[in-house]
Structure 1
Amino acid sequence: MTSETANDATQERASGSFRVVSGSGRGYHPAAVDKFLAAARESFEVGGDLTAADVREASFPLVKGGYVIADVDAALGRIEDAFAARQRDQIVRDGGTEEWVTQAREQAQVILDHLARSRRSKFARTGFLTFGYRVDEVDHVAGRIVRYLRDGDELSVEQLRSAAFRMQRHGYREEQVDALLDATIDVMLAVR
């Protein structure tokens, strides 16, 4: 993704590309989104500290009449891609292609090692009365990640970004699952 594409994504609001939720529906708080996009644009243009992970972790309050969530999430996905591409280019410039490939392989191996755990035991569980991510659904996605990293099966960043799990008592701890999904997305963006 070029810096031009990233600028286009961060300027979407200025051109009126974000629809507003109608009626009593809730969407992302417009001022919060606009502020974050302005900061992302400045960071990208000036070379600030914002990273692809920061963009992925961005969250906004929900308000009546806010921006349509899917529109903002799509723009954030493109911005994240731009930051990841810039990071990859920097690693290649500083250490060469070999260092970039080595880093991506090491990250992928850490993920594969974690997912080698037995079925229904891949992540820590919540207490018996506490809700966590549904185990069978997470294990299914984990299997797809393993097949992607090990065998080259198809899996897109967008599929992982949009992964959602129902809740169950004594399910997997959300923060551990989310961290692994984030790490996998980082690897996928590194090898794009």
Structure 2
Amino acid sequence: MDSTFPRTRKPQRGYNADQVDEFLQIARRAYDGSALPSDPPLNSERIRLTAFALQKGGYATADVDAAMERLEDAFAIEERQVAARLHGDEVWLAEARTTAQVISNRLARPEGHRFDRMSPLALGYRVRDVDKFAEKLTRYFRDGWPISIDDVRSVVFSTQRGGYRESQVDLVLDAVVDVMQAVR
């Protein structure tokens, strides 16, 4: 993966170029099996949770995000292959089915009660937006309704006072991505 991305114009903010370049060097070594002892362990989940500071004239966020998604996918495929060699495909798929069932149970809760709510004074994800997307995910798990990993990764929710707790919704979305990668 090339670590050179287009940059934003100076008044606009993009990702900190030094942080992105450093992370991609670590990722390249981890993927090639030549990680340094000082390198942090890296897997698809860590890649998904990585965030970069913003700076004026930094790397264009859309380009870096797309590269990070491809990198996450590559690591997830490698992780699945390793798990299949060690434990067999059935163990890997059974774990994915278990996770999918936990997600489905969460999504089956009544509208407005699928996730914990923030206090009436604090902002959270807009309940109506999350519930609408939850219905799409329910159709995916229950009926095989088509939805892509990119749809899950790129979903954006408005905010509202007393909305759903963002961290809880984000964890479920991360689990959905894990399941989708497992059954590819």
Q: Which range, TM-score by smaller chain? A: over 0.9
Aligned to 1:160: 152
Aligned to 2:30: 43
Supply the distance in 1 between the matched residues of 2:34 and 2:122 (Cα, whole angstroms). Answer: 42
Q: Kindly indicate whether residue 59 of structure 2 is the aligned counterpart of residue 84 of structure 1.
A: no
Q: Kindly indicate whether residue 12 of structure 2 is the aligned counterpart of residue 25 of structure 1.
A: yes
Among 151, 173, 179, the residue aligned to 2:165: 173
Aligned to 2:100: 108
Q: Kindly indicate whether residue 124 of structure 2 is the aligned counterpart of residue 137 of structure 1.
A: no
User: CA-atom RMSD, angstroms?
Assistant: 1.1
Supply the distance in 1 between the matched residues of 2:79 and 2:142 (Cα, whole angstroms). Answer: 24
**Aligned partner of residue 158 in structure 1, secondary structure:** helix
CA deviations 1:73-124 (Å, max 9, x no partner) are 0000000001100111111111111112111111100100111110011000
**Aligned partner of residue 125 in structure 1, secondary structure:** coil
CA deviations 1:150-182 (Å, max 9, x no partner) are 111111111111111111000000000000000
**Aligned partner of residue 73 in structure 1, secondary structure:** helix
Amino acid at match of 2:12: G
TM-superposed CA distance for 1:143, in Å, is 1.0
Supply the distance in 2 between the matched residues of 1:50 and 1:23 (Cα, whole angstroms). Answer: 32
Q: Percent identity?
A: 45
* Unpaired stretches in structure 1, ≥5 consecutive residues: 1-8
TM-score, structure 1 length as denominator? 0.90
Among 128, 131, 141, the residue aligned to 1:149: 141
Supply the distance in 2 between the matched residues of 1:80 and 1:122 (Cα, whole angstroms). Answer: 28
Supply the distance in 1 between the matched residues of 2:142 and 2:29 (Cα, whole angstroms). Answer: 38
Supply the distance in 2 between the matched residues of 1:89 and 1:142 (Cα, whole angstroms). Answer: 30
TM-superposed CA distance for 1:47, in Å, is 7.2
Aligned to 1:63: 55
Amino acid at match of 1:37: L
Amino acid at match of 1:31: D
Supply the distance in 2 between the matched residues of 1:45 and 1:173 (Cα, whole angstroms). Answer: 38
Aligned to 1:5: none
**Aligned partner of residue 88 in structure 2, secondary structure:** helix
TM-superposed CA distance for 1:23, in Å, is 3.4
**Aligned partner of residue 168 in structure 1, secondary structure:** strand
91-100 or 50-59: bigger deviation: 91-100
Supply the distance in 2 between the matched residues of 1:55 and 1:153 (Cα, whole angstroms). Answer: 27
TM-score, structure 2 length as denominator? 0.94
Aligned to 1:6: none
Misfit runs of 4+, over 4 Å: none
Supply the distance in 2 between the matched residues of 1:143 and 1:45 (Cα, whole angstroms). Answer: 40
